[in-house]
Amino acid sequence: MSGFEDNGGSAEEKSMGQGGDDMDQEDQEVAAGVAAGGDNGDDEFMEAGDIAAEFEIGDGEEEGGGAGAEEEGEGEAGAEVEVEDMAVATFTGHSDAVYCVAVHPKNPSQFVTGGGDDKGFLWTIQDDGAVGGSCELGGHPDTVSAVGFSLDGSLVATGCFGGLLKVWEAATGGLKHVLEGQEDIECLAWHTLGSVLLTGSQDGTVWMWEATAGTCMQVFAGHESKVSCVMFTTSGKAVVTASDDATVRVWAPRTGECRHSFSGHGFHVGSVTCLASHPNHAQAALVMSGGEDGTARVMHVQNKRVVGTMVHCDAGAGSVEAVGFCATHPWVATGGTDGGMKVWDTVSGTCRHTCLHPAAVTRLEWHPAAPLVFTACVDGNVRVWDARTGVCTSLFTGHTDMILDMRLVDPRSQAAGAGGGGGGGEVVPLLVVTASDDNASKVFRWPSPGAEAAAATETAAARPTA
C-alpha cells in the first residue's frame, strides 16, 4: 500500500524527488480571499506490513519512554557509571538547562545558546577544541527559548518566554534592539536571504520583524493556540507556521494573508510539533510536519495539497518530535517519543527502516551531502544512521541528561560560503553541536573512530544471543 495519494497531481507531487516549484508565479499573485479550510484528500496510511526492516539499539524498553528500572547513568548496584565524553568542546556557562543552540552561518566556530537561566551566550571554540571567548546575552525576564543567527551572521536573535525579542551584534555581543508585543516566544526563524525574522508566540500570533531597523513588518493572526514552529520555505517566498491548534498555515509575507490552512479530516489530530522544508531549491514548495498524533505529513504549499502521510506510531503510543528531508535521495525521516527513527521512501510511500533508540528521539538532521541521519536522544547520546541499511554507524556520548537541541555544521562549506558540498563521493566531515538538560552544550566531530567503535559495541550488545 502506498502512503502517498494519487489524485492526478503533478509528477513532482507523485515522486517528491523530481523537479519542484519555487513559487515564482504564486509570489506574483495577490493571495486575497484564500479560505482557511483544509485540503487534504483521503491520504492512505502506512500499515505494519509496509515496514521493510527494523533495528533496535540498547536493551528492551519499559513503559515510559525506554527507561529501565535503573536510573540513567547508574549501574546494577546504584553506582554511577562514568560516561565517556567524546566531545571536542564543552560550553558550561549556563547554570540551568540549555534549550536551544544555533551556529554562525559563516564562522563554524561560533555558537549561540539559550537556557533556563534566562540567559543567552555567544561563544566560540578554538582550533584545538578548547572553548574560546564567551559573551553573555542577558536581561531576559524568563527562559531563553529560541536563538538564531541572520543569514550573513552579523546579527543574532534571542527570544524568551517573557515575550521579549532581543537582537544583538554577533561580532561584539552588543545589544541592538529590544522588541516587544507578543506573549511567550516559542520559536524564531530568520529569512533565507536577508535580515527578516519570524517569531511565534504562545498567544497564537506570528510576527515578522526587520531586524536591522528593529521594526515589525507584519503580524500573522489566525492560529487558535500556541505557535510551535515558524519557518520560511527554502525559496524564502512563503511563511509556514504550525500550531497546537492542529493546523499548518501558509502565509503571504508581503500581505500577511493566509494562503492556505492545512487542517481537518486527513490531517493532524492534536498539536503539530515540528516542521521542515526541503533543502533543495528546486523542491522548495515541499514542507513536512510531525504531530503529537504520531503521524507526519508532506505538503506541497503552492498546490495546497497533502501529498504524503506517514504513520510513525499508533495514536497514543507517542508523538513525532522531529522530521526532515534527505537532500540526496527521495527519502524523509521521522523521529518520535516512542524511541523510533524511521526512514521513508517518498516514491513508494513505504518505510525503509525503523531504527530504535533506548529512549525518545528529540531531534534529527540529515547529512547535507550523504544519506545519513543524525539523531539526538533523551538518553543523552547522538547517533548516526546509514539510511541505506538502517545501521547505526556512530554513537557519541558525553552528556549526562537528555539532549534538547542539535545542529550540524559543515566547516568547509560554511567557510567557503556555500551549502552542501561533498561532490565526487568524498566524505564531508561535520561538527555536531548539542544543547542538553545537563546545563551544557557540546561539540562533537564526525567522523570519529571512537564513535564508530561505540556504535559497533552497542549494536553487538543488542543482538540476541543464541
Q: 113 pairs with which residues across the strands?
A: 101, 121
Q: Which of 166, 243, 241 is nearest to 202 (CA)?
A: 243
Q: Is there a contact between 145 and 159 (Cβ–Cβ < 8 Å)? A: yes
When pLDDT is averaged across residues 255-259 and rounded to a whole number, the result is 96
What are the CA-CA distances from residue 206 to residues 17, 185, 273, 323, 330 (Å)? 31, 9, 16, 22, 31
Q: Is there a contact between 96 and 414 (Cβ–Cβ < 8 Å)? A: no
**Bridging pattern class, strands 441-446 and 89-91:** antiparallel
Q: How confident is the model at residue 83 (pLDDT cuts 50, 70, 90)?
A: confident
pLDDT tens digits, one per residue of 13-39: 444 444 334 444 443 332 333 233 333
Q: 336 pairs with which residues across the strands?
A: 320
When pLDDT is averaged across residues 162-173 and rounded to a whole number, the result is 97
pLDDT tens digits, one per residue of 456-465: 999 999 887 6
Alpha-carbon distance 405 to 148, whole Å? 13
Residue 194 backbone phi and psi in degrees, to 5:
-150, -155
Question: Does the pLDDT at position 12 exceed 50?
Answer: no
Q: How confident is the model at residue 411 (pLDDT cuts 50, 70, 90)?
A: confident
| Spatial strand order in the sheet of 54-56 | 54-56, 351-356, 340-345, 331-336, 320-325
Boundaries of every domain in the chain: 84-221+403-410+430-458, 229-397
Alpha-carbon distance 196 to 179, whole Å? 13
CATH number, domain 84-221+403-410+430-458: 2.130.10.10
Question: Does the pLDDT at position 176 exceed 80?
Answer: yes
pLDDT tens digits, one per residue of 324-344: 999 999 999 999 999 999 999
Q: Is there a contact between 439 and 451 (Cβ–Cβ < 8 Å)? A: no
Into which CATH architecture does domain 229-397 fall?
Answer: 7 Propeller (2.130)
Look up residue 207 and give its amino acid: W
Question: Does the pLDDT at position 81 exceed 70?
Answer: no
Query: Which range has the worst mean pLDDT, 2-11, 290-299, 420-429?
Result: 2-11
What are the CA-CA distances from residue 128 to residues 67, 109, 272, 433 (Å)? 36, 11, 41, 16
Residue 450 backbone phi and psi in degrees, to 5:
-65, -40
Question: Strand (E) positions, 387-449?
Answer: 391-396, 403-409, 430-436, 441-446
pLDDT, residue 43, reads 37
